[in-house]
Amino acid sequence: MLDLRLYMAQRLSALVMAPLVLGHIAVMIYAIQGGLSTAEILGRTQGSLLWFLFYGTFVVAVSIHAAIGLRVIAHEWLRLRGAALWMLTWGICAALLALGFSAVFAVTLP
């Protein structure tokens, strides 16, 4: 169910995300004071290549990581297997990529 390749994808995406999560938490702690607004978020991120790369990488890594993680849960707790399990894995990965990039584009495109 989890072979060597899925395992390595899971651990590699986790390793990529570790510093990104720390950065994300730091930004949240910094930005939450005094409340959030759309203008404030866009003021920080719009037109910034750095934030695009930061959140773009984050979205790719989290899509892979969450798809494999939910795959394991679907197999162990819902007994899903075979083609259905693969469709679920790739479906989750694709959906998170699409949703994630629409968010990243919305807040970083100039």
Partner 1 sequence: MKPPPRSHPLWFAFVLHRLSGLALALFLPAHFWLLSQAITAPARLDGFLAFAENPLVKIAEFGLVFLLAVHMFGGLRLMALEFLPWSDRQKTLAAAAVGVALFLSGTFFLRAI
Partner 2 sequence: MSTDHDMLDVTVQRGSADHVHHDRFQVPARDNQTVLDVVTWIQQMADPSLSYRYACRVGMCGSCAMMVNGVPRWTCRTHVKKVTVNGKLSLAPLRNLPVIKDLAADMDPFFDKWVAAEARHHPTRGRLEEFDPIKPDARDRVEANLGIECINCGICYAACDTVAGNPDYLGPAALQRAWTLLNDSRDGDRPGILSAVSGKGGCHNCHSMGSCAQYCPNGLNPMRAIAGLKRETVKAALRGKRDA
Q: Does 75 bind partner 2 (CB under 8 A)?
A: yes
Residue 3 binding partner 2, by CB under 8 A: yes
Biggest alpha carbon–alpha carbon distance for the chain: 50
CA pair distance 18, 32, nearest whole angstrom:
21
User: Would you state the structure tokens that stand for residue 36, as one six-digit string?
Assistant: 């959030």
By CB under 8 A, the count of residues binding partner 2 is 12
**83, 88, 89, 98 from 74: Cα distances, Å:** 13, 9, 9, 22
Q: Which does 68 bind (CB under 5 to 8 A by kind): partner 1, partner 2, none?
A: none
The listed partner (partner 1, partner 2, none) that binds 4, CB under 5 to 8 Å by sort, is partner 2
Is residue 29 close enough to count as binding partner 1 by CB under 8 A?
yes
Task: Name the residues that contact partner 2, by CB under 8 A.
Answer: 1-4, 6-8, 11, 72, 75-77
